[in-house]
Structure 1
Amino acid sequence: MDDLLYRRIPETAYLDTENTPRYRAILRFFFEQHERLRHYLFPEEILAHLHQLPRFQGYGMADLQADLNALVEKKNLNPRQDTTRVTSIHDFKNKRFRYQATPYTIEIERLVRKLAQLGQGFGGSLEITLFDSLLQRLKLLVSSEKDADGKPRFSILQEPDDKIYQLWSEMFDCFRKMGENASDYLAHLKTEKVEERMQTEAFLVYKDAFKRYLENFVVQLQRAAAHIEQLLGGTDPTFVEALAGRLARHEAAIPRLDGDPPDPEELAQGYRLKWRALYEWFHGTDGRRSEWLSLQDETTDTIRRLTRFAQRIGERLLHAHGRRKDYLHLAKWFARLDSLEEAHQLSGVVFGVERPRHLTTEHEFGDDTDVTIWHHPPAVVKVKPSVRTFRERSRPNPVHSYANERDALLRAHLRQKESERQLVERIIRDRRIVLSDLDHVDPYIRKTLLDWIGRCTASPRNQTRAETGHRVRLAAEEGRVLLESEDGLMEMPNYTFSIIDNPGSHESNP
């Protein structure tokens, strides 16, 4: 068992290779023919099928044979020599093969087809009929009557093994679909795309249908789960042992030629674990709540969430509509009153307190509509005096001196500026910088020259004052140059910078 659990699965390698499109088309054809009970296929009929697809118009028998051999090596196909049409020794030596898809490949293709049908989102549904089907089959399985000694006599144990196995399989198929479909459907309602649609006005059209669908599921779940829980709790453990033994005996009796026969005790243990899983799903274990109660709570929370979305949309639409009719109706109320005192009382009821005071706390109340302020513990609010002279107490803090850190940063900054100034001085020749004469420049020099070009072209006289203190004038030359740096090459127009004056000159910057 451990070897099967941890071994590599070479049969899945064809799903992610360079030739995956060809492999998948071939194995999908094998899968479709397998479902039609055609297990062995000849290369000629595979090639005829592939030629019907646009991708395989130039695909030949040699290409197909190479792909079939590759799939045999990947353990996706089993070759079998065809000896039905052999008329000579030469034909026998040529070994004409038929091919059959391996069991792993069939299951992989079945899974891939299911994933394609699933798409990018969750599927599932809340099928209330699955609870009834599970309940009915469980009743048939555990039904019993007292014998002469007063001991329970289970009817199902009097049936043949194949009938017991069929009833067991149908019951657990309902159980599996019930859990998977409900989980997928509730996950579908929590996806980001669905929640975005729930916040639109179009959701109001489907709100009642969604709510009714979920409420019917909760009602059916409560009714059926309580009955199933009672049946499972009253089942005799000796019956479970006898049932597991009969099921294991039936499965062990199925003839197989692909290995050693299964151990009946291991098979019986597997069936006991399945029964235990069914029991714990409805009863819980180790003090934990049962799964059906969790499913009920999750469905109820989903109903609340749908209601909140619909309520927010309704409030948004209500604010968008005019209140003219409402105010006219209120005006008629006031017009029917006989005194100003009654008008004040009606105003207090309709519009509330004239100057209400609101108290706020830092407590989070959440979005649960069933919980009110009375369900939460009291919060402590610190009230500050309203006098102007009130000041909160503060402790004196020491004043730290950062002179050493500041001096160190200043020295590092000056060293960097001096290094950059020296880089610029190195490329100046006869008070000129010619880009075509530069071989390899530092990235800082390239950035500096590009900055000078931008500032000079923006100046009316094509001049600027550089950070180094030099005043430079820009002149365009013919051709283009390549500036080489350690991080790459840059092609640009050829320019020449002329140094007009040295650092320290007091000429104004235009």
Structure 2
Amino acid sequence: MVEQSTLKRISETAYLNQENTWRYRSIIHFCYKKHERMQTYIYPEEIYQYLREDDHFKEYTSEQLSQDLNQLIQWHNLSAQQETANMNTIDDFKKKKLRYQCTPYTVEIERMIQNLQKIGSEFGGSLETTQFDRLLHSITMLLDKGNDLSAENLNQTWNDLCHYFKTMVQNAADYLAHVKSEKVEERMKTSEFIIYKDKFTHYLQNFMIGLQHSSLQIEAVFKRNDAVKEKNIIDKIANYQLNYRLGEEKTEKDYFDEYMEQYLAIKEWFLGAQYRESELRVLYGETMETIRRITRFAKRLAERHQAFRSRKNDYIYLSRWFLRLGSQQEAAKLSAVLFGAVQMRHFYAKPRSSDSFDILLQEEAPTVIEMKPRTKTYREKSKQQAMTEYAAEKRLVLQKYREQQIVHDELIDKLIHHDSIDLAELPKISAAVRKTLLGWITRCLQQETRQIQTQTGRQVKLLWDNNTTETIVLKSDDGEFVLPKMKLQVTAARMKNYG
């Protein structure tokens, strides 16, 4: 269910997309810088003096500043407080000398804008193995020693775990996205990339080694702790937050649900869920694919560089080699080895019937190829043949099928007692009968009524309790089949006529 706060409009972001955004953003940015320098309150005179130093605000008036400040207060970007420290007269009080302060929403919005400007148009990130070591230490402290830690130390360990996990995931995702970006792939296709290929591959391989080493230990920590212990630790953290956060409207259950959801997300990232593999395996696969892609690029560049390399020295060496030979026959043999046969014929042969290396060439069966003329007017001759009637053979096959079906149905009839077949009480049956019974069960499970009609006219209904854990063994000529305890109710007799 969507939370009510998600549906509300965020008025604090309105100043980012308005007609006078350039004025609003300048004011907010100045107030934000003062806030970051621990100067909480800012006076209008400071703002006005700062803006007038820029050429864009040469015609900016104090009345316009007052209007902009009031508008930002309405959008909850600034909060105003009246200055009462130096009030000497009632008139001074009536003038309402105000000082302004950035709201928490606005501070976070400006921080986000600062981070976005640092990111630029490309991904960054890194793959550092030390991040997994920090994660392993935090998870071990949280789960193995969490009950022995004080509430304050446990809360700090939890904060460290969330911070290291978020940093690791974000850096790994950004770095792999950077490697897969179009600009980086274009750089990989240049000859200068060969110089950095070994360092780049070594960097990724070191990350893979650290990933495998630490991830196995992290998985072991998760697996040796049960759900009860995890719940107690998260409950202790939630209780600590409730006692030391003033002015919060959240309950202990709200904190518990929030932290438990974060913990399960971290756990599933390493161990995976029921219907999907872990994100750790995905990261492993993407890193391996990146190494393979870099290797392929480097191989292609090396082959291209080799193709354009001058072969002058090679040909001089070969020429001297030919010069040292004593006869033309030896020169012809060397030429065939180096450059191939002068007159070459290509032959087609069928694949070998055996993969054994011990079979001699003489033992291989010859491949017979029919040669046809290579002319457009060539057509294969066709002979008219009389149609052969196979009525007698068809009747024989049909009669044999009917006899087999009658014998098969008689075997099924012997298994029916009191209009039902109890699979638990069946004797050893043939493979054909077993396939028939399991086929009926499969078809019944596909129907809501659990009832079907067979080709021979039987009405078969499956009797089975979904909640039962009891199993039976169905024995047949081709083995034993374990399945839940079931019965097949036969509510109509089969038809005797198969014609």
Q: TM class, shorter-chain normalised?
A: 0.5 to 0.7
| Structure 1: tracts of 5 or more residues without a match | 144-154, 360-382, 394-510
Q: 2:310: which partner in 1?
A: 322
Distance 1:133 1:347, change over 3 A: farther
- Give 2:374's match in structure 1, choosing from 371, 387, 390: 387
Residue type matched to 1:307 in 2?
A: T
* SS of structure 1 residue aligned to 2:138: helix
* SS of structure 2 residue aligned to 1:244: helix
Residue type matched to 2:44 in 1?
A: P
Q: 2:116: which partner in 1?
A: 115
* SS of structure 2 residue aligned to 1:186: helix
Report matched runs for 1:250-265 at 5 Å: 250-257=240-247, 261-265=249-253
**CA displacement, residues 465-494 of structure 1 (integer Å, 9 cap, x when unaligned):** xxxxxxxxxxxxxxxxxxxxxxxxxxxxxx
CA positional deviation for 1:236: 2.0
* SS of structure 2 residue aligned to 1:37: coil
Report matched runs for 1:422-501 at 5 Å: none
Q: 1:124: which partner in 2?
A: 125
* SS of structure 2 residue aligned to 1:98: strand
Is the 8 Å Cα contact of residues 131 and 164 (structure 2) preserved in structure 1?
A: yes
Distance 1:339 1:182, change over 3 A: farther
The answer to whether 1:9 aligns with 2:24 is: no
Distance 1:13 1:282, change over 3 A: same
Alpha-carbon separation, structure 1, partners of 2:379 and 2:169: 60
Alpha-carbon separation, structure 2, partners of 1:348 and 1:288: 58
Q: Normalization by structure 1: what TM-score?
A: 0.65
Residue type matched to 2:114 in 1?
A: R
* SS of structure 2 residue aligned to 1:387: coil
Distance 1:51 1:323, change over 3 A: same
Q: 1:267: which partner in 2?
A: 255
Q: 1:164: which partner in 2?
A: 154
The answer to whether 1:204 aligns with 2:205 is: no
Is the 8 Å Cα contact of residues 30 and 101 (structure 1) preserved in structure 2?
A: yes
The answer to whether 1:40 aligns with 2:41 is: yes
Residue type matched to 2:195 in 1?
A: V
Is the 8 Å Cα contact of residues 127 and 172 (structure 2) preserved in structure 1?
A: yes
Alpha-carbon separation, structure 1, partners of 2:60 and 2:48: 8
CA positional deviation for 1:164: 0.8
Q: Normalization by structure 2: what TM-score?
A: 0.66
Residue type matched to 1:188 in 2?
A: H
* SS of structure 2 residue aligned to 1:297: helix
Distance 1:290 1:338, change over 3 A: farther
The answer to whether 1:297 aligns with 2:281 is: no
**CA displacement, residues 176-215 of structure 1 (integer Å, 9 cap, x when unaligned):** 1111111111111122222222212222222222212111
Distance 1:92 1:284, change over 3 A: same
Distance 1:338 1:140, change over 3 A: farther
**CA displacement, residues 92-134 of structure 1 (integer Å, 9 cap, x when unaligned):** 1121111111111111100100000011111111122111111
Residue type matched to 1:214 in 2?
A: L
Which segment is superposed worse, 65-74 or 304-313?
304-313
Is the 8 Å Cα contact of residues 80 and 100 (structure 2) preserved in structure 1?
A: yes
* SS of structure 2 residue aligned to 1:253: helix
CA positional deviation for 1:339: 6.5
Alpha-carbon separation, structure 2, partners of 1:206 and 1:182: 20
Q: 1:451: which partner in 2?
A: none
CA positional deviation for 1:157: 2.0
**CA displacement, residues 139-186 of structure 1 (integer Å, 9 cap, x when unaligned):** 22223xxxxxxxxxxx33232212111111111111111111111111
Residue type matched to 1:310 in 2?
A: A
Report matched runs for 1:291-370 at 5 Å: 291-334=279-322, 346-352=334-340, 355=344
Q: Percent identity?
A: 39
The answer to whether 1:183 aligns with 2:173 is: yes
Residue type matched to 2:157 in 1?
A: L
Distance 1:138 1:388, change over 3 A: same
Q: 1:281: which partner in 2?
A: 269
Alpha-carbon separation, structure 1, partners of 2:212 and 2:68: 55
CA positional deviation for 1:351: 3.6
CA positional deviation for 1:356: 7.3
CA positional deviation for 1:287: 4.0
* SS of structure 1 residue aligned to 2:244: coil
Which segment is superposed worse, 266-275 or 171-180?
266-275
Distance 1:391 1:96, change over 3 A: farther
Is the 8 Å Cα contact of residues 143 and 230 (structure 2) preserved in structure 1?
A: no
* SS of structure 2 residue aligned to 1:288: coil
Report matched runs for 1:55-204 at 5 Å: 55-143=56-144, 155-204=145-194
Alpha-carbon separation, structure 2, partners of 1:174 and 1:288: 24
Residue type matched to 2:136 in 1?
A: L
| Structure 2: tracts of 5 or more residues without a match | 349-369, 381-499
Distance 1:385 1:20, change over 3 A: farther
Q: Let me know the Cα RMSD of the aligned residues.
A: 2.6
Alpha-carbon separation, structure 2, partners of 1:305 and 1:167: 39
Distance 1:387 1:90, change over 3 A: same
**CA displacement, residues 409-430 of structure 1 (integer Å, 9 cap, x when unaligned):** xxxxxxxxxxxxxxxxxxxxxx
Residue type matched to 1:175 in 2?
A: F
Distance 1:384 1:42, change over 3 A: farther
Residue type matched to 2:207 in 1?
A: F
CA positional deviation for 1:81: 1.3
Distance 1:82 1:353, change over 3 A: farther
Count the aligned residue pairs: 357
CA positional deviation for 1:337: 5.7
**CA displacement, residues 349-372 of structure 1 (integer Å, 9 cap, x when unaligned):** 54456647599xxxxxxxxxxxxx
